[in-house]
């Protein structure tokens, strides 16, 4: 079965090389998400250390979803009350968004590159459930 | 609040063990945090958040080594995330003692299961059922120990899928990656090679943990002050553990975890019964 617009699509070697490129992309998404998150959390802790001389953050948060978790601190920062926990909260939020982004990238891959409707639907389902859970309150 | 120089090293050890086993850092972290005086529900919430970090950190390396199977991962994630949401909701509803006992029981179950599986060598699936074929569950990976490319097919996805719902529920309920359970399903039910099952379970764990974390964040159980040093430590440990896994044989990895699992499971069950 040949596909004229994508003559190489049925070729397993091409399919495999695309899959490998996807592996590399997924790897970098995961890596950058974790690295950025760690950098922000470390910076927040270090800032706190400069302020107080201790590597300790004494705060808890009330129940909120991921977006309130970040926007509450951003709002304070805009009012000129930026504090270390802004960086820490952003770090935690980016960590949580990392697997989410990974799934999003997988969906784009299955949809646009490998044109695999089955797996596009599977990933879409996962994305929808995750999106819903991120808005839980 | 426990200080950084206590939390950080505990988290490093937890991350190291979690990455090497593909089980996530929770199995060490939760018992350790409760021993340090953190309530088990807070420990579970922080642990499942840190599991995102462990899993993503080590999965990034596995994926680029082309060991992970993305399709197997995506298919099974549909079931684990729903399970995780249900599991986390249960944890919010019940009291602490059954959580200790459930935690110990799951660890003991993983121990028994890994003990049995540990004596078997992987047998390639030759006959794939129509459903698993329709789901395109197959692949190949370069094995550094054997120095060759291993081709494999997965089978019985229709049994693996509902079982993964259960694995996801355990993950959400107890704040662990439940990697041992996932690896077991991959190995015994679906016939994946051990390295593919460990690394693919690692990928699934990240997304599953995210679903659970959302529930705990909404419930106010994620304490950033506690989370910050733990995330940093867990990722450092996971990084070191991952570098080791690719080089070690399946056998030595398993033997090391069997020992740790047994001690932790007995300890948690005793604490659940005593009500400490």
Query: Average pLDDT, stretch A3-11?
Result: 49
Residues of B (152-181) whose Cβ lies below 8 Å from A: none
pLDDT higher at B169 or B56 = B169
Q: What pLDDT digit, counting tens, does each position of B31-84 carry?
A: 889 889 899 999 999 999 998 988 887 788 778 778 889 899 999 999 999 999
Report the percent of chain A where pLDDT is more than 70: 89
**What pLDDT does residue B40 have?**
92
Interface test with chain B among A34, A68, A97, by most B beta carbons within 10 Å:
A34
Reported as a pLDDT band with limits 50, 70 and 90, residue A121 is very high
CA distance B276 to B98: 12
* Closest chain B C-alpha to A4 CA, distance in angstroms: 23
Reported as a pLDDT band with limits 50, 70 and 90, residue A35 is very high
User: Which of chain A's residues have a Cβ under 8 Å away from the Cβ of B164?
Assistant: none
CB atoms within 10 A of CB A24: 13
pLDDT at A5 over 50: no
pLDDT at B212 over 80: yes
Query: Average pLDDT, stretch B11-38?
Result: 82
User: Which of chain B's residues have a Cβ under 8 Å away from the Cβ of A57?
Assistant: 1, 224-225, 228
CA distance A25 to A80: 38
Q: Which of A99-108, B46-55, B137-146 has the lowest mean pLDDT?
A: B137-146
**What pLDDT does residue B124 have?**
78
**What pLDDT does residue A13 have?**
75
**What pLDDT does residue B41 have?**
94
Secondary structure tally for chain B: helices H, strands E: 11, 2
Reported as a pLDDT band with limits 50, 70 and 90, residue B22 is low
Task: Count structural domains, chain B.
Answer: 1
Which residue of A55, A59, A133 is in closest CB contact with B214? A133
pLDDT at B139 over 50: yes
CA distance A34 to B238: 12
- The interface predicted TM-score of the complex, written ipTM, equals 0.86
Reported as a pLDDT band with limits 50, 70 and 90, residue A1 is very low
User: What does the mean pLDDT of chain B come to?
Assistant: 85
**What pLDDT does residue A43 have?**
93
User: Which of chain A's residues have a Cβ under 8 Å away from the Cβ of B82?
Assistant: 129
User: What does the mean pLDDT of chain A come to?
Assistant: 84
pLDDT at B224 over 70: yes
**What pLDDT does residue B210 have?**
95
Which residue of B53, B211, B218 is in closest CB contact with A129? B211
Backbone angles phi, psi at A69, to 5 degrees: -55, -40
Q: What pLDDT digit, counting tens, does each position of B148-160 carry?
A: 888 888 889 999 9
**What pLDDT does residue B167 have?**
92
pLDDT higher at B122 or B38 = B38
**What pLDDT does residue B250 have?**
62
CA distance B74 to B95: 33
Q: Which two tokens stand for residue B178?
A: 């439940």
User: Which of chain B's residues have a Cβ under 8 Å away from the Cβ of A94?
Assistant: none
Reported as a pLDDT band with limits 50, 70 and 90, residue A7 is very low
Q: Give the three-class secondary structure for B268.
A: helix
Size of interface A-B (CB pairs under 8 A): 175
What's the length of chain A? 137
CB-based contact (8 Å) between A123 and chain B? yes
**Enclosing domain of residue B26:** 4-274
pLDDT at A134 over 50: yes
Highest mean pLDDT among A3-12, A42-51, B10-19: A42-51
CB-based contact (8 Å) between B6 and chain A? no
CA distance B10 to B230: 8
């Amino acid at each position: 079965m040949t596909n004229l617009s994508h003559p190489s699509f049925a070729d397993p070697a091409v399919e495999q090389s695309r899959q490998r490129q996807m592996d590399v992309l997924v790897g970098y998404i995961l890596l950058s998400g974790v690295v950025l998150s760690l950098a922000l959390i470390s910076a927040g802790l270090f800032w706190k250390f400069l302020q107080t001389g201790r590597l300790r953050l004494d705060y808890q948060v009330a129940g909120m979803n991921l977006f309130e978790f970040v926007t509450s601190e951003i709002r304070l920062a805009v009012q000129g009350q930026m504090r270390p926990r802004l960086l820490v909260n952003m770090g935690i939020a980016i960590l949580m968004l990392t697997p989410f982004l990974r799934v999003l990238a997988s969906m784009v891959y299955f949809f646009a590159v490998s044109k695999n409707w089955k797996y596009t639907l599977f990933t879409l389902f996962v994305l929808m459930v995750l999106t819903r859970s991120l808005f839980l309150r | 609040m426990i200080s950084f120089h206590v939390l950080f090293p505990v988290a490093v050890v937890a991350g190291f063990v979690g990455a090497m086993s593909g089980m996530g850092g929770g199995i060490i972290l939760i018992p350790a945090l409760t021993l340090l005086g953190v309530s088990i529900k807070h420990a579970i919430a922080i642990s499942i958040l840190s599991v995102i970090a462990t899993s993503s950190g080590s999965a990034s390396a596995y994926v680029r080594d082309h060991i992970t199977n993305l399709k197997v991962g995506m298919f099974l994630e549909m079931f684990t995330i729903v399970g995780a949401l249900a599991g986390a909701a249960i944890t919010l509803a019940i009291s602490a003692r059954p959580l200790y006992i459930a935690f110990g029981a799951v660890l003991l179950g993983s121990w028994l299961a890994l003990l049995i599986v540990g004596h078997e060598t992987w047998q390639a699936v030759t006959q794939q059922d129509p459903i698993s074929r329709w789901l395109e569950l197959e692949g190949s990976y370069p094995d550094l120990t054997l120095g060759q490319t291993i081709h494999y097919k997965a089978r019985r996805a229709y049994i693996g899928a509902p079982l993964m719902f259960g694995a996801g529920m355990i993950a959400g309920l107890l704040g662990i990656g439940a990697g041992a359970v996932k690896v077991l399903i991959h190995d015994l039910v679906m016939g994946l090679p051990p390295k593919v099952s460990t690394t693919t379970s690692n990928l699934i764990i990240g997304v599953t943990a995210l679903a659970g974390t959302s529930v705990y964040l909404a419930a106010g159980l994620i304490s950033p002050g506690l989370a910050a040093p733990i995330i940093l430590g867990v990722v450092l440990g996971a990084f070191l553990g991952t570098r080791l896994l690719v080089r070690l044989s399946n056998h030595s990895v398993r033997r090391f975890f069997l020992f740790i699992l047994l001690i932790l499971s007995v300890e948690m069950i005793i604490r659940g019964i005593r009500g400490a």
